[in-house]
Amino acid sequence: MIEISKVSKLFNPGTVDEKIALIGINLKLNPGDFITVIGSNGAGKSTLMNIISGVMKPDTGDVSIDGRVITQQPEHRRARWIGRVFQDPMAGTAPNMTIEENMAMAYKRGQARGFQIGVTKARRAIFKEQLAKLGIGLENRFKAKVGLLSGGERQALSLLMSTFTKPQILLLDEHTAALDPARAELITSLTETLVREMSLTTLMVTHNMEQAIKLGNRLIMMDKGRIILDVDAKQKKDLTVERLLGEFERISGRKLADDRVVLG
Amino acid sequence: MHGWFGGAVELGLLYALMALGVYITFRILDFPDLTVDGSFTTGAGIAAVMISHGAEPWLATLAAFGGGLAAGALTGILHTKGKINGLLSGILMMIALYSINLRIMGRPNISLIRSETIFTGVSVLVIMPIIVIAIKLLLDVYFRTDQGLSLRATGDNARMIRSFGANTDNTKIVGISLSNGLVALSGAMVAQQGGFADISMGIGMIVIGLASVIIGEAIFGAKSIVRATLAVVLGSIVYRIIVAIALRVEWLKASDLKLITAIIVIVALVFPSVRKYMKEKSNARKRSAQLLAKAASESTTAGRNLTKEG
């Protein structure tokens, strides 16, 4: 179980450029929760992800996993619990290394890396089985350098790499936003399948309202560093894009301003 | 095979270990490490001092390797923990090593002419290929281990491997350390073969290392680590052959060596990008001409059809 309590984060504190990224955020993810996160520009969605993954440390408040406070732990140490997929399809894989080498690095997520050979016969069998799940033929291209794959293929590989070792929490930061509609569709359905099969606790930031409504069992809406709406599975069933936009206006008193928002 | 060619191969093999070290930082870690100029002399100095005091030559060589490891680790710590720019941390370490090397050696030049070295009684051309190939193979295996993979990923996509739990500060320190260990090892062997260690013998070493890496990759390719390490070793030998040939030109002096090296590196760096540019340009021209011709033929047939129908 992941808990974020009273987390605040300021950028450039005390200067004219001071910006409140997060202010007093409380969020509790129950095991198996799949939460989609939406919000306007600068609402603090990415900062929330960065605070959980340890890229940034909060000014106040704590992050804990299974009751263990991990607020002060560096990014690489938290990796044993956290799987991540970035928006940039290039960010989640090493381009000059082969598919199997990338898989081998993901296989050791959060463990000590010693002098054992990375790609062994036994491990290769595991990788093959996992890659086959993607259904895009990567299992037959073990020795191909990842840099030769298309953006969609790389993102599919990133997604597999961060999930197949069953992290306690999976963070998806607009991981379909940089892809064309067909590829985005593929990655979305893969996400759904992988998360369901392994019942991963997931937090997904998206700009696609329809996707936010369709996926997951819970939806939160953020604005100006706060969580302004938390919709559970039951309410989520009757939710539409219009009602969601209406809710935003009602609570924040203005229209949802997001230059990248996709209504569906 | 002796004479100038044998001599060039000999030197190429001796400096190949240094080139492998440069390959690790320059190519794998993507970290331009100038510590090399200092750590090469550190290796030579440690070996020379120990041997001239009667130490077992192999032990002295091993100690030199250790000295290089330490120097590289310090550069890595300056860069990662001290957050000093990569180039600058190498330069700082290089300068610091100049004084440290003088302290180690006690004087600017140590002769090993009368001492027993690892090459006493055996030909360099017998022993060096074994050492170089063994180290090349060890590196190939290391870069396939879990730790080696994370080291490679640090140079390839640091953000990615951090998100999978590798401490990229540590992988950098290990990589830079290993690199300088090999450089110092090379220094120790060069000193023993040449019969002396000199405080200034490391100057320009980074450029020689780069020349070997670039020449090797250009001629022999770098598709995989196994291929690249072989290319670097061969590149080091080819570099020495080029230098030997250049020095046989009558009006060139031995002191022109560093200029020749710099020119080789410049040519090797500029040539591929110029070639790529020319190729792209000629491709684009050909393709445009093709498209134009196609468009022209289509418009004439279309025109003819229209007249026929009209």
Query: What is d(CA B49, CA B35) in angstroms, rounded to the nearest whole number?
Result: 21
pLDDT (0 to 100) of residue A264: 52
Percentage with pLDDT > 90 across chain A: 79
Q: Which residues of A touch B158 (CB under 8 A)?
A: none
Tell me if chain B has a CB within 8 Å of the CB of A241.
Answer: no
Q: Where are the domains of chain B?
A: 4-248, 262-310
**Is A87 a residue whose pLDDT tops 60?**
yes
B interface test, pick of A56, A80, A105 with most B CB neighbours within 10 Å? A105
To the nearest whole angstrom, how far is the Cα of A194 from the nearest Cα of chain B?
18
Query: What is d(CA A153, CA A120) in angstroms, rounded to the nearest whole number?
Result: 24
Band of residue A258 on the pLDDT scale cut at 50, 70, 90: low
Whether A65 and A1 have beta carbons less than 8 Å apart is answered as yes
Query: What is d(CA B273, CA B184) in angstroms, rounded to the nearest whole number?
Result: 33
Interface of B with A in 155-174 (CB under 8 A): 156-157, 159-168
**Is A263 a residue whose pLDDT tops 70?**
no
Percentage with pLDDT > 90 across chain B: 74
Q: Which residues of A touch B160 (CB under 8 A)?
A: 91-94
Band of residue B306 on the pLDDT scale cut at 50, 70, 90: low
**Is B48 a residue whose pLDDT tops 70?**
yes
Q: Which residues of A touch B167 (CB under 8 A)?
A: 74, 76-77
Tell me if chain B has a CB within 8 Å of the CB of A76.
Answer: yes
Query: What is d(CA A176, CA A189) in angstroms, rounded to the nearest whole number?
Result: 11
**Is B24 a residue whose pLDDT tops 70?**
yes
Band of residue B46 on the pLDDT scale cut at 50, 70, 90: very high
pLDDT (0 to 100) of residue B310: 39
> Which residue in A has a C-alpha nearest to residue B138's C-alpha?
A115
Once rounded to an integer, what is the mean pLDDT over residues A259-263? 62
Tell me if chain B has a CB within 8 Å of the CB of A147.
Answer: no
Tell me if chain A has a CB within 8 Å of the CB of B154.
Answer: no
**Higher per-residue confidence, A85 vs A207:** A85
CA-nearest of A112, A94, A214, A218 to A154 is A94
CB proximity list for A155: less than 8 A, separation 6 or greater: A85, A89, A92, A175, A176, A178, A179, A183, A187
* ipTM of the complex, rounded to two decimals: 0.90
pLDDT, tens digit (0-9, with 9 covering 90-100), for A208-245: 888 899 999 999 999 999 999 999 888 888 888 888 88
Rg (CA), chain A: 19
**Alpha-carbon torsion B89, B91, B94, B95, what sign?**
negative
Q: Are strands B109-111 and A68-69 parallel, antiparallel or unpaired?
A: unpaired
CA-nearest of B18, B22, B38, B156 to B96 is B38
Judge: domain A2-91+149-207+217-252, CATH 3.40.50.300. yes
Report the mean per-residue pLDDT for chain B: 92
Query: What is d(CA B68, CA B94) in angstroms, rounded to the nearest whole number?
Result: 12
pLDDT, tens digit (0-9, with 9 covering 90-100), for A156-175: 999 999 999 999 999 999 99
pLDDT, tens digit (0-9, with 9 covering 90-100), for B75-91: 999 999 999 999 999 99
CATH superfamily, domain B4-248, is: ABC transporter involved in vitamin B12 uptake, BtuC (1.10.3470.10)
Tell me if chain A has a CB within 8 Å of the CB of B81.
Answer: no
**Alpha-carbon torsion A55, A194, A30, A213, what sign?**
positive
CB proximity list for A135: less than 8 A, separation 6 or greater: none
DSSP B245-259: HHHHSTT--GGGHHH
pLDDT, tens digit (0-9, with 9 covering 90-100), for B201-244: 999 999 999 999 999 998 898 889 999 999 999 999 999 998 88
Band of residue A250 on the pLDDT scale cut at 50, 70, 90: confident
B interface test, pick of A49, A76, A102, A116 with most B CB neighbours within 10 Å? A76
pLDDT (0 to 100) of residue B309: 46
> Which residue in A has a C-alpha nearest to residue B222's C-alpha?
A96
Measure CB to CB from residue B160 to each of A77, A91, A116 and give the nearest one: A91
**Is A36 a residue whose pLDDT tops 80?**
yes
Q: Where are the domains of chain A?
A: 2-91+149-207+217-252
pLDDT (0 to 100) of residue A147: 95
